[in-house]
Chain A
Amino acid sequence: MIWIDTIIQGVLLGGLYALFAAGLSLVFGIMRLVNLAHGDLIIFAAYLILLLVSLLGLSPFLAAIIAAPIMFGVGWALQRHVLNRVLGPDILPPLLVTFGLSVVLQNALLEGFSADSQRLPTGEIATASVQLGGLNLGVLPLLTFASAILVIVGLNQLFYRTELGRAFRATSDDAVTAGLMGIRPERIFATATAIAMLVVTLAALYLGMRANFDPNIGPARLIYAFEAVIIGGLGSLWGTLVGGVIIGVAQTLGAAINPEWQILAGHLAFLIVLLIKPRGLFPRAVD
């Protein structure tokens, strides 16, 4: 029973990692841009929520609803005015720029909020749990996992059922020909990053309610997100969820054997998947 419990906790933790990763996956899938500042943007959003909570006395959920459009705007402006300028056949400039952005964000947050570790106030929900067939499941982990599924379903609907989604895929295939369809690739890219920042806000909400955060933990979140995206296969959203779950389960199993093995077990799972399927579990047919 304890092993089943451990695995289920791992699956639920995987939901959080999938939320970290979904935005990264979306942006990579559309514009082949690896955003090294993704983790720091999650932490930035967490501080934004914290600021709204402490200034306006709101619940974190309400604060996240206000933070979401702000982050949408941040993502749009960031892509339009910074990242679009460095996108091109050479993948190095965007890597350098997002790496620089990561350093800038960390230091700006350090300057603004100090190095103290913070947490979003959660009230009763942090300890609430539900009984399910002899297992106690935390409400917050369940909510996180449900949100991850909703995000993936939502993004998939957007991708495969809407005109904007068609434009995303077409631009990803061939930006020049997309222009001949009346699509302006820079706008499509800006919209994609803006949507990714909505997911980032949600990830920040659950991260901030479940764990402490400080200005320097962004890169570690980025690693988990990266691993989830790569395990799943670059650009596949459901693959990203599976990737998050694999890391989550590996981590909780590792921790159950020996608490020191938690992080290591996650990375080992990632390495094993890479060895067996270097392109990930669900690679896109066209790459």
Chain B
Amino acid sequence: MSLLETHALTASYGDFQALFGVDIRLEEGEAVAIIGANGAGKSTLMRSISGVLINETDQVQFDGQPIGHLTADEIMARGVAMVPEGRRLFPSLSVEENLLIGTYGRKVAGHWSLETVYDLFPILQERRNHPGTALSGGQQQMVAIGRALMSNPRVLLCDEISLGLAPVVIKDIYAAVPRIQDAGASLIVVEQDIGQAMKVSDRVYCMMEGRVTLEGAADTLSREAIHDAYFGGATI
């Protein structure tokens, strides 16, 4: 039994269907990357798992329990935390308050605390009393990751954490992924940057137009296979 699984997951925004029967799984301790172009359904998949979008009961399973029908706060309380696309820090809260609010619905002792998050991203300690939104994009992303870690989640969902950031900043942020994994969390990382995704993940799913078009271990997939799955059809 996998830690997290989706079964024939569908999702729609009104009349527009965004996911057409998606099956993915995440094993305990694993890091899985989900790649795909804009509009492939990656973010919708994250929103479905985290409960921002509500699904059929059995379409999402966590730790053997169906969670598809649960709301975001209930899913978070069970140990699935999300770093949302666009970081979404709370402008009225300071950096430290943004981190502390991450424990609101789940107070579980574990590796992650203010101290260990500041150890992971030392710059945040210097900026702890600044408003979260006064930071640079990369630092804001660190706050968003730290905020999700504060609840000591079993699964961390990262939605486009490199979006809009400079390559050197992306490198810094991805350097944290192995440490997060070592501390006991399993990860799903949504990425458009294929190289970055392959580097940190054990397995990769490629999505196109609301469906999974390729699945495999990160080190066994060929460039051509990924290209086909990413853009569809044969290479020209």
Contact = CB atoms under 8 A, between A and B. Distances in A.
A and B are interacting partners: yes
A170 interface: yes
A238 to B, nearest CB: 16
A201 B162 CA distance: 51
B77 A180 contact: no
Interface stretch (B2-10, B22-30, B95-103, B192-200): B95-103
Interface stretch (A69-77, A181-189, A221-229): A181-189
Interface stretch (B86-94, B113-121, B174-182, B210-218): B86-94
* Residue of A174, A178, A180, A183 contacting most chain B CB atoms (<10 Å): A180
Contacts of B106: 182
B147 interface: yes
Contact of A170 (B52, B84, B101): B101
Contact of B92 (A169, A182, A183): A169
Q: How many residues of B sit at the interface, in one of the four size bands?
A: 20 to 34
B82 A167 contact: no
A170 B105 contact: no
Interface size class of A (residues with CB under 8 A): 10 to 19
B51 interface: yes
A177 B148 CA distance: 11
A177 to B, nearest CB: 4
A173 B92 contact: yes
B92 A181 contact: no
Interface string B42-71: 000000001110000000000000000001
Contacts of A179: 51-52, 71-73, 76
Given A174-B88, A176-B52, A181 B104 contact: yes
A176 B51 CA distance: 10
B88 A177 contact: yes
Contact of B73 (A166, A170, A182): A182
Nearest to B87: A177
B68 to A, nearest CB: 16
Interface in B138-194: 147-148, 151
A172 B147 CA distance: 18
Contacts of B51: 179
B18 interface: no
B71 A170 contact: no
Given A170-B93, A183-B101, A183-B105, 15 more contacts: A163-B104, A166-B93, A166-B100, A166-B101, A166-B104, A170-B92, A172-B92, A174-B90, A177-B84, A177-B88, A178-B90, A179-B76, A181-B104, A182-B105, A184-B73
Interface of B: 50-52, 71-73, 76-77, 81-82, 84, 88, 90-93, 97, 100-102, 104-106, 147-148, 151
26 contacts: A163-B100, A163-B104, A166-B93, A166-B97, A166-B100, A169-B90, A170-B92, A173-B90, A173-B91, A173-B92, A173-B93, A174-B90, A176-B72, A178-B90, A178-B101, A179-B52, A179-B71, A179-B72, A179-B73, A180-B76, A181-B73, A181-B101, A181-B147, A182-B73, A182-B104, A182-B106
